[in-house]
Amino acid sequence: MSSSRATWWQSAVVYQIYPRSFCDANGDGIGDLPGILARLDYLRHLGVDVLWLSPMFPSPQDDAGYDISNYTDVDPVFGSLADFDLLLAEVHRRGMKLVLDLVVNHTSDEHPWFEASRRGRHDPQRDWYWWRGPRAGMAAGAPGAEPTNWASAFSGSAWQFDEASGEYYLHLFSRKQPDLNWENPQVRSAVYRMMRWWLDRGVDGFRMDVINMISKDPRLPDGIVGSVGSSGFGDGSPFYICGPRIHEFLQEMYAQVFAGRDAQLLTVGEMPGVTVEQARLFTDPDRHEVDMVFQFEHVQIDHGIDKFHPTAFRLVDLKASFGRWQAGLAEVGWNSLYWNNHDQPRVVSRFGDDSDRYRVRSATLLGTVLHLHRGTPYVYQGEELGMTNGVFGSIADFRDIESLNYYAAALAGEGSGAPQPGDPLADETAGGTAVTAAGPGRQPDDSTVLAALRRMSRDNARTPMQWTAGPHAGFSSAEPWIGVNPNHRTVNAEAEYADPDSVYSHYRRLIALRHSHPVVARGSFTMLLPDHEQVYAFLRQLDAEQWLVLGNFSAADVAVPLPDAADWASAELLLGNYPTGEAIGSPPDAPAPARSAELWLRAWECRVYRRTAPPA
């Protein structure tokens, strides 16, 4: 991208707030907008530029707010529209921006649009959603009579039968999240009108929930069976991921909502299953679709047949994935960079080491490697503290619909809950009990399923933000809606804020680097050592300035086998996660071949060097 194209969000860092779990101001155990307001100075001090709020709209909360029943108000549990206006003004007063979550692939089944639509086949709003009769030749409501064999993302069929009209409606997510029919122009203009309403109120853009699912192949063909877990359902995704009219819809949205506004706005489309090639089209500035997308490849590299059958993490796979995305969007388009959000387990527990010994080192390494790629980084609340996965004793400790539905289906022997051959969870222990693998088709026991949930559940991201070592981690004066992680006694904002060696302080330095050094936002990217199993290494370069970013994804000392290692070892060390001044030469007891390398990394060490590029 030429520098004339450089836009403000290339050197910005976005911070995601999950309101329910961030800060509770009124003592009901649930986070709220006044709670966020009370913490704005913390966020300003961290240095982030943009806040993204997960949904705070009125909602039955079936999917924690991603099921919206009114797009132009605030749920009383989170506050009021007046609280929102005050929050927005105070965010702006601190020089930050605020983007909202736009959830328009579906609404709640309690949204007035759907309530009208389900009134009957002849309601004028019937066609705002996807209604279909039973499969040809089958009786409505009979087992297997759903219009297609598609699975819902939250277990079971993607179709819900409506007794009154004898038809089914489509819900790619929960039964309480019916999919809007974007083929209908009235739906599209109602959505655009709502988006303009928020922009006119002063918000600075949108994070667009599963936006690459809004265009469906209207023929709704059956999907292939056997690719979504081991359930009997088919995979409908080829017919709704980046469907036939997706680019047309996003261009129309741009024209109707964003074109001609001179404010500095940000749009990011959440796009499961998007490829690099498609992402380049979505983010090519000349096409006027979105500024950047959230792709999923790197957060699925440890998935087996589904996320609840995880496989071992391999660094070479991670590097191959990031390397392809960096190259694919180098000239045209733009990356977003994230480890965490409200749907992912905590990265330090996932790709790092969350033991007391290595938590800080591995969390700072992960942040460093991510933030220094080319793209806009996103920090999810608590990531800047090195927050870890939650502690969940039994199924009663989980709250998320995806986890609860999966658990029920797995124990009933339905869906993909059955253990698979080679399942790594088979040899993990759950609560001290050894888990034995059953064969495919056999019912897993409670401890096998719980082990999977502990590792991959979305609730890992949703435990309360750890503000202090005190009761309820300073999140609330009351019992929170989901359990606090007991490690808040040591892992908390109060302890980390002024500690120069904390994860928090390291994230501050990283964010400041992006703001002060154009090479971070605009430099080229070159992956090094793609086949090395422990070392993540890459170069950034802008004009004559060259940076080397190194990370050791292991607890062992490793040599960095770069041909110009000696030169780098004497370059300026900009950032690291070990105290400076400590010797970084090769350990004396190192094996002979390793000893010859000039650059060594200690356990979970990261380093960022700068030099003037040697002449080509």
Nearest residue to ligand GLC, by Cβ distance, number only: 66
Q: How far is the CB of 471 from ligand GLC (least distance, A)?
A: 29
CA distances from 537 to 7, 310, 553, 560 (A): 27, 26, 11, 9
Between 171 and 361, whose beta carbon lies closer to ligand GLC? 171
Measured from the CB of residue 480, what is the shortest distance to ligand GLC in angstroms? Answer: 19
C-alpha span between 337 and 212 (Å, rounded): 18
Strand residues in 66-166 grouped as ranges (E) = 97-102, 131-132, 159-162
126 or 342: whose CB is closer to ligand GLC?
342
First-to-final CA distance of the chain: 21
Of the pair 153, 503, the CB lying nearest ligand GLC is at 153
Q: Which does 173 bind (CB under 5 to 8 A by kind): Ca ion, ligand GLC, none?
A: ligand GLC
State which of positions 26-85 bind Ca ion (CB under 5 A).
Answer: 26, 28, 30, 32
Stretch that binds Ca ion, among 25-33, 48-56, 122-130, 191-199 (CB under 5 A): 25-33
Least CB distance to Ca ion at residue 232 (A): 42
Nearer to Ca ion, 26 or 300 (CB): 26
Which of the residues 62, 83, 209, 291 is marked catalytic?
209
Catalytic residue among 167, 270, 343, 496: 270
State which residue, 176 or 472, has the beta carbon closest to ligand GLC.
Answer: 176
Q: Which of 504, 556, 507, 562 is nearest to 530 (CA)?
A: 562
> Residue 285 in 3-state DSSP?
helix
Radius of gyration of the chain (CA): 25
* Least distance to Ca ion, CB of residue 145, Å: 44
Residues in the chain: 616
Which residues are paired to 159 by β-bridges? 170
Q: Helical H runs in 168-245?
A: 185-201
Task: Tell me whether residue 54 or residue 546 sits nearer to ligand GLC (CB atom).
Answer: 54
Strand order in the sheet with 131-132: 131-132, 167-170, 159-162
Q: Which does 63 bind (CB under 5 to 8 A by kind): Ca ion, ligand GLC, none?
A: ligand GLC
Size of the site for Ca ion (CB under 5 A): 5
* The one segment of 20-28, 39-47, 271-279, 553-561 that binds Ca ion by CB under 5 A: 20-28
Spatial separation of the C-alpha atoms in residues 547 and 470, rounded to whole Å: 41
Judged by beta carbon distances under 5 to 8 A according to partner kind, the member of Ca ion, ligand GLC, none in contact with residue 130 is none
The CA dihedral of 286, 289, 293, 296, to the nearest 10 degrees, is: -110
32 binds, among Ca ion, ligand GLC, none (CB under 5 to 8 A by kind): Ca ion
**Partner in contact with 209, chosen from ligand GLC, Ca ion, none, beta carbon below 5 to 8 Å by kind:** ligand GLC
Is residue 236 within 8 Å of residue 223, measured between CB atoms?
A: yes
Q: In this structure, are residues 1 and 39 in contact, taking their beta carbons and an 8 Å threshold?
A: no
User: How do 558-559 and 433-434 pair as beta strands?
Assistant: unpaired
Residue number with CB closer to ligand GLC (213 or 451): 213
Shortest CB 454 distance to ligand GLC, Å = 19
Q: Which residue has the tokens 């009979």?
A: 142
Q: CB nearest Ca ion: which residue?
A: 32
Angle, alpha carbons 477-400-214 (nearest 5°)? 125
> What does 300 bind: Ca ion, ligand GLC, none (CB cut-off 5 to 8 Å by kind)?
none
**What is the C-alpha to C-alpha distance for residues 200 and 230, in angstroms, rounded to an integer?**
47
Q: Which does 66 bind (CB under 5 to 8 A by kind): ligand GLC, Ca ion, none?
A: ligand GLC
Place of tokens 């122009």: 185
Pick what 26 binds: ligand GLC, Ca ion, none; C-beta below 5 to 8 Å, kind-dependent: Ca ion
**Phi, psi dihedral angles at 613 (to 5 degrees):** -60, 135
Residues 398-457 that bind Ca ion (CB under 5 A): none
Distance in Å, CB of 35 to Ca ion, minimum: 7
Exposure letters 276-288 (e unless 16+ CB within 10 A, then b): bebbbbbbeeebe
Nearer to ligand GLC, 252 or 343 (CB): 343
Q: How far apart are CA 552 and CA 322, in angstroms?
A: 16
* Nearest distance in Å: CB 208, ligand GLC: 10
Residue with token string 């206006």: 85
Q: Which of Ca ion, ligand GLC, none does residue 24 bind (CB under 5 to 8 Å by kind)?
A: Ca ion
* Catalytic status, residue 270: yes
Provide the sign of the torsion angle of the four alpha carbons 575, 577, 581, 582, taken in this order.
negative
Q: Which residues bind ligand GLC (CB under 6 A)?
A: 63, 66, 103, 173, 209-210, 270, 342-343
Residue 343 or 598: which CB sits closer to ligand GLC? Answer: 343
Measured N-to-C along each axis, helices 503-516 and 359-371 cross at an angle, to the nearest 10 degrees, of 20
Closest approach, Cβ 93 to Ca ion, in A, equals 23
State the minimum distance, in angstroms, from the CB of residue 24 to Ca ion: 4
Which residues are the active-site residues?
209, 270
Residues that bind Ca ion (CB under 5 A): 24, 26, 28, 30, 32
